[in-house]
Amino acid sequence: MDAEIQNGRDRYPGIVAPEALPWVEQTVLTEEEEWTQLEIKAALGGGPLEHLGECAVIACALHRGHVALLDDRAAMAQADLRGVQARDTLWVVIEAYATVFGKDRDQAIAVVDALIGTDMYLPIKSGTSLIAWAYEEGLLPRD
């Protein structure tokens, strides 16, 4: 997973090194979690290094009772197959909009536009469509 993060940081230098964040804690998979990671990797396929981060997150969440944060639809499906509660990137942005950002649309829009700027696929075209989409999907209650 370190390689996946470093590749992202190489492409987008604005990404902060996880070890520089006081709330980040590095973890090591147990042997049982490693076997689960391999099972999920076999199901997802791809190149030897593809999907390793997602597989590790799902395995850790499964065995430790955590919620998996994922940015890949196929990985979300694998989490669902295993009964792992998972959230995606837009869920994190919507949650931040409703709690951290104090419902400041401009902050949420900026986050989404920055993600789109990294060529990340999102089911919306721009940050300005985020709030309307979230209401349509039932992610935000009508005030």
pLDDT tens per residue, range 26-39? 889 999 999 999 99
The overall average pLDDT reported for the chain is 90
pLDDT at 18 over 60: yes
Same domain, 71 and 17: yes
Query: What pLDDT digit, counting tens, does each position of 44-100 carry?
Result: 999 988 899 999 999 999 999 999 999 899 999 999 999 999 999 999 999 999 899
Segments forming the whole domain that contains residue 10: 2-84
Considering only residues 76 and 6, tell me which one the structure prediction assigns the higher pLDDT.
76
What confidence score (pLDDT) does residue 54 get? 94
Percent of the chain at pLDDT > 70 equals 97
Same domain, 116 and 60: no
Same domain, 67 and 94: no
- Against a cut of 0.85, is the pTM above it? no
Helices 73-81 and 31-44 pack at an angle, to 10 degrees, of: 120
Same domain, 8 and 75: yes
Domain count for the chain: 2
- Is residue 108 situated within a structural domain? yes
